Structure 1
Amino acid sequence: MDFPHGIPVTSKKGIVCKLQKSLYGLKQSPRAWLGRFATSMKKFGDDHAEMQNLQKYLAYEFEMKSLGDLKYFLGIEVARCKHGIFLSQRKYILDLLAETGMLDYKPIDTPSEQNHKLGLYPNQVPTDKERYQRLVGKLIYLSYTRPDIAYAVSVVSQFMHSPSEDHMSAVMRILRYLKVTPGKGLMFCKNGHTYVEGYTDTDWAGSVTDRRSTSGSSAEAEYRGMAQGVCKLLWLRRLLRDLGFGPKKPMDLYCDNKAAIVHNPVQHDRTKHVEVDRHFVKEKLDAEIISFPFISSEYQLADVLTKAVSTTVFLNSLDKLGMRDIFAPT
């Protein structure tokens, strides 16, 4: 270990540096902190009636203090009520609209134009690349509490390396939509149960540039999407089990494509990756971990996350996605 700059180096043998307090940079630091914290907590006890004493103890032992209930963190606002927890980024949105000068623009009902033709074209007019990337980056962070803009943001983020005026117009449309309801966010309600339902959908050959999609046909694209949905549900199932709330019956993964549902007699083994997915999904179905009920496209909640839908479909899906606006006048 070298002496820090400014410390005179002596010729005496046996002179070492004494570490008073470790901060960052050591790989074992997080593990050491958690180990000491767990040992200290177990030694002190877990009686609910001693919460005040616990706070005083932690303040003395670890130089920390209680800041009360979480209200604001990294641009995310947190509100609690008897119905659940509400997450929004209202201030973040208003600051973004003020920064871009969009406060005076006319609002719009949907974040993306239906049947849009955004792509990379040889005659496109380039725009300010740095500004485009900065705006899209902020919208990506905003989509954590705004799933209603997730699809629109995923589209504009595909052109970060070569944005055009049309792409910038699509970004401005998202900002105009956000002006309608800047206080909209996610409401995590108390439903009285821990049952998990999933929705899966894909946009087959959705790219206007190269017509790429998940797989070779609409059914196979949906099928690969189902395999990804199963992975997400298995992760949630494992998490709930670790928390002591494991599902007691199969979790439903809704799909609006009958040809892709696993118990359909049609085999999807024309390509190796689809065959692997089929065996994986079939295994979970036989184990009664997952079930695949059919749902009509009219009630498919995943549509707003995979394609630009009509205003009616879009607005009807927001409430089902758990989106609320607690700042709206009653």
Structure 2
Amino acid sequence: MGISGTKSASTPMEMNLRLTTVEYDTLLQSTDNPLLDDIHSYQQLVGKLIYLTITRLDICFVVQVLSQFMQCPKISHWESAMRMLRYLKKTPGQEVLLKRSSINNLTVFCDVDWASCLNTRRSVAGSLAEAEYKSIAAVVVEVIWTKHIEIDCHFVREKLKDGLIKTEFVSSKLQLQTC
């Protein structure tokens, strides 16, 4: 059954919901949230939601949370993704309209989300002070990305040339799975 006949949701994620990994559940010896049978469908859905964040900024945080479980999604992760779809169903027309014009001023925001990882109790970026700087730096990089991607590319090429790093192609089928 699709979502067309389902009730819409007023928020993209249930309040105070804590989604966890399989490893975390194993530590707690919890078996009440089994793995999702169809991992591929979850990965496809989250991939589409990631693309949608370009114009739907209101879903960025939830999509970031859902994308952390791409390797081993559980039923609770699928249910949260379905709630996101029900939210999108209720809120059409809230996307950011990108018009071709000059931008004189741009206001950006960032959030550190300190110690939010349930598995490690660490922030995504490190210690609090360091995380704040990294969060700000990440926002600045996003704003002026074109210039910085060139610097990143040259940096990586230089390290490859110097022999400090080596890149190898690994087929998706040979990627390590943590399930």
Interval of TM-score (by shorter of Structure 1 and Structure 2): 0.5 to 0.7
Query: Structure 1 unaligned runs (5+)?
Result: 1-99, 240-330
Q: Which among 190, 193, 205 is matched to residue 115 of structure 2? A: 205
Q: Does 1:111 align with 2:12?
A: yes
Q: Which among 119, 136, 140 is matched to residue 226 of structure 1? A: 136
Query: Structure 2 unaligned runs (5+)?
Result: 149-179
Q: Which among 133, 137, 142 is matched to residue 52 of structure 2? A: 142
* Higher RCO (CA 8 Å, separation ≥ 6 residues): 2
Q: CA RMSD in A?
A: 2.5
Distance 2:108 2:89 in 1: 30
Q: Does 1:133 align with 2:43?
A: yes
Distance 2:48 2:39 in 1: 14
Query: 3-state SS of the aligned residue for 2:3?
Result: coil
- Give 2:34's aligned amino acid: V
In terms of fraction of residues, the more strand-rich structure is 1
Q: Which among 101, 118, 142 is matched to residue 2 of structure 2? A: 101
Q: Does 1:215 align with 2:126?
A: yes
1:175 corresponds in structure 2 to 85
Identity of aligned residues (%): 40
Residue 164 of structure 1 and its aligned partner are, at CA, apart by 0.8
Query: Closer, same or farther in 2 for the Cα pair 1:125/1:229, shift >3 Å?
Result: same
Q: With structure 2 as the length reference, what TM-score do the two structures score? A: 0.67
Structure with bigger gyration radius: 1
Aligned residues: 138
Distance 2:145 2:48 in 1: 28
Distance 1:193 1:151 in 2: 25
Distance 2:74 2:20 in 1: 9
- Give 1:129's aligned amino acid: I
Distance 1:131 1:190 in 2: 35
Q: With structure 1 as the length reference, what TM-score do the two structures score? A: 0.38
